[in-house]
Amino acid sequence: MDNVRKIIKKVLNENDNTLKGKFISIVNKGGLFFVMKHFKMSYTKLWSIIGDDVITNKVMIGFIKDIIKEYGSFAPSEVDEDAILYNRSEDEVRYIDFFGSSYVTVSVYGGWDGNSFVGEFSVPYYNLDDSSLIAVFDMITSLYDDGDLDRYL
């Protein structure tokens, strides 16, 4: 709790007197989840204050990792969600179906109907393409905002 107070006190003493500036500074110092948790704020509310500019890949990955640290690794199916499409080719369909501490697990399906399990591999969050990272981030922020992480995990 002392760390929380130190971060907030330091930010309040900075020169930027705007609410947006204060929250951006706290996000940059403590992370998105830190702000949402300690200010009891949904992502939607926080986003309405800080906007898109601060939501970089680094911030999204930090948020995802903080959520996993708080709630543990999980699969979308554990929280009543579908796996996220990673990519598709003529012969295979790949889905992100597990969120780990620093990676996602991608399951590969093939066969004439795309339902035969072929295998799986891990992809670090920082190696995800932008659309996959955003899809993971959007799912996890929605689960957090809706209280589903507390309900299911």
* CA–CA separation, 149 and 153 (whole Å): 5
pLDDT at 9: 62
Unique residue bearing structure tokens 């998105």: 32
Element (H, E) at 46: helix 43-50
Helices (H), 13-129: 19-30, 32-38, 43-50, 57-71
DSSP letter string over 24-43? HHHHHHH-HHHHHHHTT--H
Q: For the segment 35-78, what is each residue's pLDDT rounded down to a tens digit?
A: 999 989 999 999 988 988 899 999 999 999 999 999 999 999 99
pLDDT higher at 140 or 114: 140
Q: What are the angstrom distances between the C-alpha of 146 and each of 43, 76, 113, 140?
A: 10, 15, 34, 10
Nearest one of 82, 90, 91, 87 to 121, comparing CA atoms: 87
Residues 96, 104: contact at Cβ < 8 Å? yes
* CA–CA separation, 92 and 109 (whole Å): 6
Q: For the segment 84-111, what is each residue's pLDDT rounded down to a tens digit?
A: 999 998 899 999 999 999 999 999 999 7
Nearest one of 88, 109, 35 to 66, comparing CA atoms: 35
